[in-house]
Structure 1
Amino acid sequence: MPYAALVLLEPLHKESKDIGDFFITSSIFINTGWAYTKVGEFDKADQFIQEGLEMAQNHNMPSNVVAGYQKLSDLERERGNFKEAYAYFKKASEFEKEISSATNLRYMNDVIVRYEAEKKNNQISVLAKENEIVRLRLKKNQTTLLVSALIVGLVASILYILYRQYQNKNEKRVLSLEQNMLRSQMNPHFLFNSLNSIKLYIINNEQKNAVHYLNKFSKLVRKILEASSQREITLAEELETIELYMNIENIRFSNEIDFKITVDENLCPSNIKIPSLALQPFLENSLWHGLSPKEGKKMIHLNVKRKSQNHVSIEIEDNGVGRGAAEANKENRVLKRKSVGIRITKERLANFSKDYQNKFDVDIVDLFNTDGSPKGTKVILDIPTI
């Protein structure tokens, strides 16, 4: 496994640096050091872990700093330097405590600031009422004008504050959705399945196939990282990413899945933009729940059609076991996997539609044979275009 990890991680060193995401780069270097530790190349392991740790420290990435110290502790333990291993372990523990203390301190400061703000708002309200009484006593003939001006100003201020709070909350929510989306695309199950499949090619001495699929896997990881930093991409780029993803996943199914993409002739995918990485969770759901337990011929067809001037319809049809059987299989599994990717994608599509004042629809249709037996599932996405 460490050798396979090195095969995956080493090509990503330059790619991650070029992207400029120091969090990803730091993680890649630290995990490369871990892999070298497991294969016994301790000097290289120390070099990579130290470089990743320094990057995390310089760019204020607490979780990666903790991971770096933990990996250094593992390295020194493998070397037999138990004193140094304990020292690094102690540093990791202390840093975790500092992170927790800082989080608690920020929370308390936030509570205090909110309390003070509420207190000041109450004082302002009291002063405004007193001022109104004074004005009523001094200038009765100007009461209506002054009160109106005060109310207008107060309402405008409150509306502005509420708008800013809503805007900040929405921005944080969108950012959280994008981060969750990236984690769902790069889930460990998919990564380990892909690496294990490539490892089998290496074990079977199928070097050409191993290099071919390793290149595809690296390209897919790069595309996912690039797309995750963009709010929307062209449909052509999305379809290219999906095709790479299906090529990788098809290794697990011994290349027995008939995957096909069909695009209407009157559509130009390069001129249509959709939310980035919106289709992969639905394909993953078809693979995991529909086709994985199915025996015999397996297929997934993706059809892109123009529904109206401002909407495009994307249909994902499979010939899996159907949602009823999939749900029963899911209950019988020891490892129950939640389809969080679909929920996240629906929320991202809702935000995307709201910004462009268009609606979106996601419809899941159960397919049946003439005798009433299930023959698969069809997902229909009605997505607004830009």
Structure 2
Amino acid sequence: MKNKLSITSDNFQLFHINTELSFEYRDLNLDTAYMYLADAKKISQSLEPSIRIASELDFYEGNILLVEGKYDSARNLLRRAINGAQSLNHTSFYGKIANNLGMVYRRLGLSDSALFFYSEALVSAETGSYALARIYTNMSMILNSRGELDSSSYCLHEAITIFEGIKHQKGLAVAHLNLGNIYYKLENDSLALFHYKQSLMNAQATDFKPVVSRNYLNIGSIYNTQNKTKEAKQSFYTALEIQQDTKDRSGIAASYRNLGDLYFVEENYDSAQYYYKESLRLFEELGNVEGIIRASRSIGEILMLLDKPNDAIMALEKARELAYTHKQIHEELKVLAVLKKGYLKLKNLDSAYLVGEREYMLNDSIFRQKSHDKIAELQTKYETEKKDQEIGNLNQQAAIQSLEINKQRNQMIIGGLFATMILVGWFLYYRQDRAQKEKASAELQQRFLRSQLNPHFIFNSMTAIQHYLETHDPEGASHYMGLFSTLMRQILENSRQEFISLAEEVSMLENYLQLQQMRFGEQFDYKIDIDEELDEDYAGVPPMFAQPFIENSLEHGLFREEGVQNRIQINFKKINDHLVGLEIEDSGVGVKEEKAMTKHKSLATKITNERLNNLRTVKHAQVGMDSENILNELGDTRGYRINLRLPTQLISI
């Protein structure tokens, strides 16, 4: 591009070369970008004034202001540019400006406006083009901030496919960076690190310094969570050096926040607070809403540790209001978790309850959004089948009319209709049979879900929380509420999955058993052992088979007498490549006679048998369950053992 400057004397061409160079350098060196823009403005004075030239100057200057973090000024110029493009009916230029306006509104935290302009840009983007991939990448950031991670991931994979096809390394750098951010939010450090390194490789190959610095920043954050302090600090300072060199104020603000996180882990709270405040100052100057929320939450956490709950709540309420206003669901959840602790510390139980209620509602809304997507998918399928049926009916009417016109073919048509009726009858029978099976499966799933959400367990949990509050133990209440809300979310999410990873199953059991330990005042111990031949991350098991039996043990048979430490042992063992053994033992009174066993056989146990029968039919004939009393040398009952044989399959994470 630079070479063309020296070989052309056409002012119109020189104007376009300088504007393109200003656009190219906006991510590399702002001073150089402004220099080329100034040259373009000077050349434009020798050209005939036009809306197109004025709009282009506004567009390119708006882009530089966007990178510089001057979002309000960028918005004004880009709005003026898009009006010009609209008056010229220049579709591709309009789409280009709309995409950049979406970026400005995203930085201002106005996600609805951002999505509107991204949608406008999509209309003019060509299939498989750089512009389309860039729009997908930008839309993914909005969807990520709103907690719609599946949709965000879809957009990024579409973008990566296009960027790989056109061999655009800068685009790949940005797309992999954002995909890494999704996996980081999902706490999947290995996949996050993989995409950050892919992004870093592409960014370094093109000297894309802003993205190089963001990758060092994010890689440092992962090292920090892994307690690799030395590596984290090196990554953070490398990022900061690049950002200061390129005058990337937004990046500097993010680096300050991450340095605060580093010193927070080191328990150097003064330094942590300094960097958090510097980060907040810069984000406020830039008007970066997401940055303000995160920095304010971090300041609130520090103030809580410094025993300044009133100051902490002021910072956290500010963050909460911004997150709520700008639909930053995941950020709001993080703020609410800290805010609840603050109100409990001040013994403001009403506010703590309201915050907890909002936290539960948000977790539930995330779950319901996933359910809504599934329902929409089923509705689309239903509408399609309905249309097909209407078309079939029209065809049948046409056949009847044909009978009246062509009587000489009656026998042939009647025979054809008879065969069609048999076929349709068989099809309707098949559909009805399938629908009944699906209905039965859905009913079983709902009863299974209700059995996990046992009203007695929920009531006992609420009573336990109330007990902690009444005995002036807000820390205990907060811990219990945290475990309880996590468990409820896990139950709601996992009950809809046919298989979950063994790691997820164990995590859910740990939360359930810890809640029960707190409720029963540490009257029992538990231990969970996993066969070394089972890979926790990849071995899939049907969810929540152990919980009903643990509940029965706790409610009906575990506790023998005071002064005796009671025990629950859970073992996962590999039987073969298709079966996993789940063994649950307790040290309780056992089952002495059939009548007692029948009396204590809960609804959940009945549903467990139904689930096993269903799995035995569709998965593996050896799926099943047996149970026995555990006897000592004298033949006395010293506990009870349940053995489950469950199907397993490899799952992806």
Letter in 1 for 2:513: M
Cα distance change on mapping 1:327 and 1:253 into 2, 3 Å: farther
Superimposed CA distance per residue, residues 103-156 of structure 1 (whole angstroms, 9 cap, x where no aligned partner): xxxxxxxxxxxxxxxxxxxxxxxxxxxxxxx98xxxxxx9xxx99x99987765
Q: Does 1:15 align with 2:363?
A: yes
Residues 1:169 and 2:433 are matched in the alignment: no
Structure 2 portions without partners, runs of 5+? 1-348, 373-409
What aligned pairs does 1:42-191 form with structure 2 within 5 A after superposition? 157-191=424-458
Write the letter of the residue equivalent to 2:623.
F
User: Which residue of structure 2 lines up, in the alignment, with residue 255 of structure 1?
Assistant: 522
Q: How has the CA–CA distance of structure 1 residues 181 and 9 changed in structure 2, closer, same or farther, with 3 Å as cutoff?
A: farther
Q: Helix, strand or coil for the counterpart of 2:521?
A: coil
Match of 2:591 among 314, 323, 334: 323
Shift of 1:194: 1.2
Q: 2:622 corresponds to which letter in structure 1?
A: K
2:618 is the alignment partner of 1:355: yes
Task: Give the aligned partner of residue 201 of structure 2.
Answer: none
Q: Is 1:313 matched with 2:576?
A: no
**Could you tell me which amino acid in structure 2 is paired with residue 209 of structure 1?**
G
Equivalent position of 1:212 in the other structure: 479
Please give the alpha-carbon distance, in whole angstroms, between the structure 2 residues aligned to 1:17 and 1:328: 42
Distance in 1 between the 2:586 and 2:642 partners? Answer: 9
Question: Secondary structure at 1:346's aligned position in 2?
Answer: helix
| CA RMSD after TM alignment | 3.2
Contact 1:275–1:349 (CA under 8 A) maintained in structure 2: no
Do 2:526 and 2:567's aligned partners in 1 also have CA atoms closer than 8 Å? Answer: yes
Structure 1 residues 326 and 350: alpha-carbon distance in aligned structure 2, compared to 1, 3 A threshold:
closer
Q: Which amino acid aligns with 2:453?
A: M
TM-score by length of 1: 0.60
Q: Is the 8 A contact 2:542 2:648 kept in 1?
A: no
2:554 to 255, 271, 287: 287
Return the match for 2:513 from 246, 261, 265: 246
* Distance (Å, rounded) in 2 between the aligned partners of 1:303 and 1:22: 32
Q: CA-to-partner distance for each residue in 1:314-345, whole Å, 9 max, x for gaps? A: 100001111127965996xxxxx751112112
Deviation of 1:224 (Å): 1.0
Using a 3 Å threshold, how does the CA distance of structure 1 residues 199 and 230 change in structure 2: closer, same or farther? same
Relative to 1, partners in 2 of residues 1:190 and 1:293: Cα closer, same or farther, differing over 3 Å? farther
Report 1:225-244 matches (<5 A).
225-244=492-511
Distance 2:420 2:634 in 1: 69
Decide which of 630, 633, 638 is 1:367's aligned counterpart. Answer: 630
Name the amino acid aligned to 1:373.
D
Gap change, CA 1:255 and 1:348, over 3 Å in 2: same
Greater relative CO (CA pairs within 8 A, separation 6+): 1
1:323 aligns to what SS in structure 2? coil
Name the count of aligned residue pairs.
261
Contact 1:319 1:375 in 2 (8 A): yes
Q: Residues 289 and 325 of structure 1: is their aligned pair in 2 closer, same or farther, counting only changes over 3 Å? A: farther
Q: Given the superposition, is the C-alpha separation of residues 266 and 180 from structure 1 closer, same or farther in structure 2, using an over 3 Å criterion?
A: same
Which amino acid in the other structure matches residue 345 of structure 1?
T
2:459 paired residue number: 192
Q: CA deviation at 1:373?
A: 1.6
AA in 1 matched with 2:636: S
1:344 corresponds to 2:611: no
Task: Please report how far the alpha carbon of residue 20 of structure 1 lies from its aligned counterpart in structure 2 after TM superposition.
Answer: 2.2
CA contact (8 A) 1:350 1:359 kept: no
Q: Distance in 2 between matches of 1:291 and 1:325?
A: 16
- Deviation of 1:203 after TM superposition, in Å, equals 1.6
SS in 2 for 1:11: helix
> Which structure's residues are more often helix, by fraction?
2
In the alignment, residue 9 of structure 1 is paired with which amino acid?
Answer: E
Q: CA deviation at 1:370?
A: 1.8
Q: Are 1:265 and 2:532 counterparts?
A: yes
Deviations 1:68-90 (A, max 9, x none): xxxxxxxxxxxxxxxxxxxxxxx
User: Counterpart amino acid of 2:590?
Assistant: G
Paired AA for residue 629 in structure 2: D
| Structure with the bigger percentage of strand | 1
- Alpha carbons 2:501, 2:540 under 8 Å: kept: yes
Deviation at 1:205, TM superposition (A): 1.5
Partner of 1:118: none
Q: How has the CA–CA distance of structure 1 residues 178 and 293 changed in structure 2, closer, same or farther, with 3 Å as cutoff?
A: farther
Mapped contact 1:8–1:218 kept (Cα < 8 A): no
How far off is 1:187 after superposition? 1.5
Contact 2:487 2:508 in 1 (8 A): yes
Q: Secondary structure of 1:322's partner?
A: coil
Q: Report the alpha carbon displacement of residue 206 of structure 1 after superposing the two structures with TM.
A: 1.7
* Matched letter for residue 361 of structure 1: G
TM-score norm. by structure 2 comes to 0.37
Give the AA of the match of 1:314.
Answer: L
For the residues of structure 2 that align with 1:7 and 1:255, how far apart are their CA atoms?
28
Distance in 1 between residues matched to 2:626 and 2:608, nearest whole Å: 13
3-state SS, counterpart of residue 268 of structure 1: coil
2:422 and 2:569 mapped to 1: Cα distance? 55
Note the alpha carbon deviations across 1:277-296, whole angstroms, 9 max, x for none: 22211211121122146542
